[in-house]
Amino acid sequence: MDFGFSEDQLLLQSTVRDFLQAECTAEWVRSGWETETGRDPVFWKKLAELGIPGLLVPERHGGLGMDDVDLVLLMEEVGRVGLAEPLVPTVQGVGILRGLEDAAPAAEWLPRVAEGDAILTVGVMGNGFVPDAHVADLLLIHDDGALLSVPRDAIRADPVASGDGSQRLFEVSFSRADAGVLAQGERARALVAEALDRGALCCAAQALGVADQLIRMAAEYASQREQFGVAIGTFQAVKHMLAEVKVALEYARSHVYRAAYSVAHAAPARAADASMAKLAACEAASTAAKVSLQVHGAIGYTYEQDVHVWMKRAWSLERACGDSVFHRARLCDAVIDGKSPAESFGYSPPAGLG
């Protein structure tokens, strides 16, 4: 039993943090809002050099062969800078390819992902939008009980507008004749379920970074902005708002780290753990956005100031990979009805309460 990260894991996190802080400024994120694709192939290559898209790719396919526990620390940093490159759908896709019985698609695609030469995305037909379908080289689509692989040029992708300029969402359609069948039935369902939980986890981890950044910005602003002759951060009304959201953030963090372990180890309660992580972290991020806006006051409400950059990330993360309504319902089904496993950590209820 050790609920901590290793020195190597923390070192990798700090390396990625330093890189992103230097390269991925708010100004750069905003510049992506104005471009046609909103994505930067040169930057993606740099992310690949750091090993992020290929983190979960087995070493035999040229990846780092690491797991979700390593991954969440990096996703936190991705959220902290508001980076919206298609890392989440790509690692979801890596998880699917890695888990296929047929080794050929993994052998074909995973080395390219690790090299930074391929972007993946995942979707479920008739259930929400597909992110980054415009830049994905391979789409993994769950449709009518089958898990399909669809190459980029066989897809029609109609953009869906988002309030977050970083977000690129699509409704996709394609002809089944152009799709390969990767898995069917229960196997397909299991792979898609794992991808959903991994995606929810990655969004949750990003939300931790988003919340932390929003709190930090507000604390810095409150420390230097003066009214009534003193820094507004001396007022308890301001202190308490920020302290409350800090509490929410730190307890969300515990859920996220546990869910990372559950996803990495395919724990029986993986789905419930991922839902708790997603709910707690996205709530912390949304609250942090409101609090940060309030602390900044009118200046925070301007387009010029950067609060809204992270606020919009908080909004889109909350809706990605299962929105809060989905995750709350799933948690209730597990905790109250026992439809799927929900496990207390350590404690187990006595007979009569179980």
Partner 1 sequence: MDLAFTPEQEAFRKEARAWLETNVPAEPLETFDLPDGFEQHREWEKKLHAGGWAMVPWPVEYGGRGADLLSWLVFEEEYYRSGAPGRVNQNGIFLLGPTIMEYGTPEQKARFLPKMASSEEVWAQGWSEPNAGSDMANIQATAIRDGDHFVVNGQKTWASRGAYAHWLFGLFRTDPESKRHHGLSFVLLPLQGEGITVRPIQKINGKAAFAEVFFDDARVPVENLLGPEGQGWSVAMATAGFERGLMLRSPARFQHTAARLVALYRETVERGDPVSPSMRERVARCWMDAEAYCLNTYQTVSRLLAGGKIGAEASLNKIFWSELDVRMHELALELLGPRGEMPGAWLDGYVFALSGPIYAGTNQIQKNIIAERILGLPRK
Residues at the contact surface with partner 1, assessed by CB under 8 A: 1-6, 69, 215, 219, 222-223, 230-231, 233-234, 236, 238-240, 242-244, 246-247, 250-255, 257-258, 260-261, 276, 279-280, 328, 331-332, 335-336, 342, 344-350, 352-354
Distance from C-alpha of 194 to C-alpha of 142, rounded to nearest angstrom: 12
Shortest Å distance, C-beta 76 to partner 1: 15
Which is nearer to partner 1, 92 or 262 (by Cβ)?
262
Shortest Å distance, C-beta 15 to partner 1: 19
Which is nearer to partner 1, 18 or 244 (by Cβ)?
244
Which is nearer to partner 1, 155 or 289 (by Cβ)?
289
Which is nearer to partner 1, 127 or 344 (by Cβ)?
344
Distance from C-alpha of 326 to C-alpha of 308, rounded to nearest angstrom: 25
Distance from C-alpha of 290 to C-alpha of 284, rounded to nearest angstrom: 10
Which is nearer to partner 1, 243 or 266 (by Cβ)?
243
Kindly state the tokens that stand for 95. 């998880």
Look at the block and give the residue holding tokens 């993946």: 120
Amino acid at the residue 50: L
Shortest Å distance, C-beta 74 to partner 1: 15
Which CA distances in Å does 24 have to 33, 149, 167? Answer: 13, 32, 16
Shortest Å distance, C-beta 236 to partner 1: 7
Which is nearer to partner 1, 142 or 296 (by Cβ)?
296
Distance from C-alpha of 344 to C-alpha of 354, rounded to nearest angstrom: 11
Shortest Å distance, C-beta 344 to partner 1: 5
Distance from C-alpha of 199 to C-alpha of 322, rounded to nearest angstrom: 9
Shortest Å distance, C-beta 88 to partner 1: 21
Which CA distances in Å does 166 have to 16, 247, 253, 313? Answer: 20, 28, 24, 8
Annotate 44-75 with b (16+ C-beta within 10 A) or e (fewer). bebbbebbbbbbbbbeebebbebebbbbbbbb
Which is nearer to partner 1, 146 or 219 (by Cβ)?
219
Shortest Å distance, C-beta 13 to partner 1: 13
Report the greatest alpha carbon distance in the chain.
71
Say if residues 94 and 120 touch (Cβ distance below 8 Å): yes
Look at the block and give the residue holding tokens 């896709």: 93
